[in-house]
Structure 1
Amino acid sequence: MIEAVMVWNEPNNTSHWDFGIDPGWQTFAQMARATGEAVHAEAPHVKRVLGGVSPIDPRFIGNMKGQGVLEAMDVVAVHGFPLDWNLWAVEDWPEKLDAVRAVTDLPVWVTEVGISTFAGDAVQAEGLHRTAKVLRGQSERVHWYSLFDLPGAWEATTRHKQREGSSYFRHFHMGLIREDGTPKPAMDAFAEHADFLGICQWFHYEDHRLDDAVRWLKKMGVKRLRTGLSWSDDDRPNSLDWFDRQMKALEDFELTVTFCFTPEHRGVVPHYTSPPRDINEYVDFCARMVRRYAR
C-alpha cells in the first residue's frame, strides 16, 4: 500500500515542531536521520520523504543536508499556499522549487498545495486552474489540500488558534467538498487536472469521513493520496484497530503516509509539537507501521 513515508510534517513550522526547544533542529535531525535508516531497513522499496516544509525555505533544507539528514532521504517535500498564507504569487512556484533544487539533488515533491474558499468559491476554482497549469511538469508528485472542509466543531492544527484571526479560519475552508457533503465549483476544475494531481487528506482518530472519502476519491479518479498515521494516537486502547481500518480502506491508492505528532506524555513538554524525550520511541513507531503496512 505504502509508496512513500514522510518523516514528520512541516518541521520548520511552530504549529508542528517546537524548534524553540530544539535550536538548530538538532534533535529533529537526529530523529529524522534515524527514522530514514529504520524505514529503509524495513522496506527498501519505500521512498523516504523529508517532512514537507512550510514556509518553503531552502536554508532549512540546507541545514538538514549539513546534519546528514538528506543522506537518509529519497525526496524532499514542500508546501505552499500563495493565495492564503504565503506572500508570493501562484506563478512563483517554479522559482520556489528551483531555490530548493539549488541546495539538493533529491527530487522535490509538492505534498500540500491548496486554496481556501474563505474569500469565495470562485477564488478556489480559478486558483486551482492556475496552480495546476503552473505546477504541471514541475514536480513528479503534487497533492492538492484537501478533499474535505474541516468540520466547524473541530480545531485546526495551529499553535495560536483563533488569535491568528482570519488566517486561522481559512483552515476550515480548504476542501473541495463542504462539511454538508456538497461539492464546490473547484471540483470541476480538479477533474480537468486529475491525471496528475493527487489529494492530501488527513483523517482524525476514528474519523467518520473515511468511507465517504474513499467513495469520493475513486469517483474523482484520484490515484495518489497523502495521509497520516498519528504517533499521538498510538497509545489509545484501540489504536491498531483504527490504523488497520484506515489502511485497509485506502489500500487501492498509491499512499504517502506521514508519521507525526508527539504523544503529550512522551514530549520534552506536554504538547504534540514537542521533540520527544527519547527519539527512538518515534523511530520505533515508524518502523512498526512500515513493517505492518508496507511489506
Structure 2
Amino acid sequence: MMTSAMIWNEPNNKSHWDPEVDPDWVIFAETARMAGEAVRAESSRITRVLGGMSPIDPVFIMKMQQRGVLAQMDAVAVHGFPLDWNLWPIDHWPAKLDEIKAVTDLPVWVSEVGVSSFGSEEVQAWGVNKTAGLLKGLAPRILWYSLFDLPSAWEATTRHREAEGSSYYRHFYMGLVREDGTPKPSLEQFAQHAPDMGICQWFHFEDHRLDDAVTWLKRLGVKHLRTGISWADSYRPNALAWFDRQMEALADFDVTVTFCFTPEHRGIAPHHTSAPQVVEEFASFCASMTRRYAD
C-alpha cells in the first residue's frame, strides 16, 4: 500500500520545524538520517524522500548533503505556491527546480503545488493548467495540493494565523472540491492532467472525508497520492485502527506516506513542530509504520 516514505514535511519552514529549538537543522539532520536508515532496514523497495522544502532553498539541500542526510534518501522534494505565498512568478517553476538539481543528483519531486481559490475560482482553474504545462516532464512526481478544501470550522494547525493575516485564510481554499462536496471549475481542468499529476491530501485523525476522497480520486483517474501518518497521532487511543483504515482505503493508489509531527510530550518544546527529545524514537516510529504498510 505504501510505495514511498517522505521524512517530515517542510522542515525548513517554521510552521513544521521550530527554528528556535533547532536553528540550523542540526537535530533535524540527525533525525532525518536515522529515519532514512530505519525505513531502508525495513524495506529495500520503499523510495525515501526528504520532506518537501518550503521555501525552495539549495543551501538547505547542501547542508543536508554535508550532514549525511542525502545518503539515506532516494529523492528530495520541493513545495511551491507562487500565486499565493512565494515571492516569485509562476513561470519561474523550471528555474526553481534547476536550482535544486544543481546541488544534488537525486530526483527532485514536486510534492505540493497548488493555487488557492480564495480570491477567484477561475484563477485556480487557470493555475491548474499553467502549472501542468510548466512542470510535466520536469519532475518524476507532481502532486497537486489538494483535493478538498479545509473545513472552515477546523484550524490550519501548522500555520501562524496571527503572523499571516489574511493570507492565512488562503489555506482553506486549496482544494478542487468545496467544503460542501461540490466541484470547483479546477476539478475538470485537473482531470485533463491525471494521472500525470497526482494529489496531496492530508487526512486528520478519523477524518470523515476519507471515503469521499477515494471516490473522487478514482473518478479523476489519480494514480499517485501523498498523505501523512502522524507520529503525534500514534499516541491517541485507537491510533493503529485509524491508520489501518486509512491505508486500507487507499490501497488502490501508489501512496507516499509522510512521517511527521512530534508528540508534544516527546518534543524538546511541547509542540508538534519541535525537534524530538530522542531522535531514535522518531526513527523507530518510521520503522514500525514501514513494516506495517510497505507493499
For normalisation by structure 2, the TM-score amounts to: 0.99
Cα deviation for residue 166 of structure 1 reads 1.6
Deviation at 1:141, TM superposition (A): 0.2
In the alignment, residue 82 of structure 1 is paired with which amino acid?
Answer: P
Query: What code does the residue aligned with 1:172 have?
Result: F
Residues 234-273 of structure 1: matches in 2 within 5 Å? 234-273=234-273
Judge conservation of contact 1:124–1:186 (CA < 8 Å) in 2.
Answer: yes
Equivalent residue number for residue 229 of structure 2:
229
Supply the RMSD in Å over aligned alpha carbons. 0.8
* Contact 1:162 1:169 (8 Å CA) reproduced: no
Q: CA separation in 2, counterparts of 1:230 and 1:140?
A: 25
Shift of 1:163: 3.9
Partner of 2:116: 116
What is the alpha-carbon distance in structure 2 between the residues aligned to residue 254 and residue 224 of structure 1?
5
Q: Distance in 1 between matches of 2:159 and 2:20?
A: 13
| 1:54-203 correspondence runs (5 A) | 54-203=54-203
User: Following the alignment from structure 2 to structure 1, what is the Cα–Cα distance between the partners of residues 201 and 29?
Assistant: 26
Whole-angstrom distance in 1 between the partners of 2:60 and 2:232: 25
In the other structure, the counterpart of 1:25 is 25
SS where residue 232 of structure 2 aligns? helix
Give the Cα–Cα distance (whole angstroms) in 1 for the partners of residues 87 and 19 of structure 2: 22
For the 8 Å contact 1:110–1:139, the answer to whether it is kept is yes
Q: Which amino acid aligns with 1:51?
A: G
Partner of 1:6 in structure 2? 6
User: What are the Cα deviations for residues 3-49 of structure 1, in whole angstroms up to 9, with x where unaligned?
Assistant: 11000000000000012211211100001001101100101110000
Query: Are the aligned partners of 1:33 and 1:72 in contact in 2 as well (CA < 8 Å)?
Result: yes
User: What displacement does 1:165 show?
Assistant: 1.2
User: What letter corresponds to residue 32 of structure 1 in structure 2?
Assistant: A
For structure 2, the 5+ residue unaligned runs are none
Q: Distance in 2 between matches of 1:24 and 1:145?
A: 28
**Contact 1:58 1:100 (C-alpha < 8 Å) held by counterparts:** yes
Letter in 1 for 2:181: G
Counterpart contact for 1:142–1:196, Cα < 8 Å: yes
Counterpart CA distance in 1 for 2:242 and 2:63 is 36
Question: What residue identity is the alignment partner of 1:56?
Answer: I
Distance in 2 (CA, whole Å) between partners of 1:172 and 1:110 is 21
Report the Cα offset of residue 91 of structure 1.
1.1
Listed one character per residue, the Cα deviations across residues 80-116 of structure 1 (whole Å, up to 9, x for unaligned) are 0000000111110110000001100000000000000
Distance 1:255 1:85, change over 3 A: same
Q: CA deviation at 1:170?
A: 0.2
Q: Alignment partner of 1:126: what SS? A: helix
| Residues 1:292 and 2:292 are matched in the alignment | yes
Structure 2 Cα separation of the partners of residues 159 and 273 of structure 1 = 11
Asked whether the 8 Å contact 2:83–2:115 carries over to 1, the reply is yes
Tell me the SS of whatever aligns to 2:25.
helix
How far 1:158 sits from its partner (Å)?
3.2
Once the two structures are TM-superposed, the CA of residue 157 in structure 1 deviates from its matched residue by 3.1
Structure 1 residue runs of 5 or longer lacking an equivalent are none
How far apart are residue 195 of structure 1 and its match? 2.9
Quick check: 1:219 aligned with 2:241? Answer: no
Q: CA deviation at 1:162?
A: 4.2
Change (3 A) 1:176 1:162: farther
Q: Distance in 2 between matches of 1:64 and 1:44?
A: 22
Deviations 1:148-206 (A, max 9, x none): 00000001133422441121000000000000000000011101111300000000000
Q: Is the 8 A contact 1:158 1:168 kept in 2?
A: no
Structure 2 contact 21–269 (Cα < 8 Å) conserved = no
TM-fit CA distance, 1:79: 0.1
What secondary structure, in the 3-state scheme, does the structure 2 residue paired with 1:119 have? coil
- How big is the shift at 1:289? 0.2
Give the TM-score of the pair, scaled to structure 1: 0.99
> Number of aligned pairs?
295
3-state SS, counterpart of residue 23 of structure 1: coil
Q: Helix, strand or coil for the counterpart of 1:33?
A: helix
1:40-83: per-residue Cα shift (whole Å, max 9, x none)? 01011100000000000011011100101000000000000000
In 2: Cα distance, 1:167 partner to 1:3 partner: 34
Q: Which residue of 2 aligns with 1:205?
A: 205
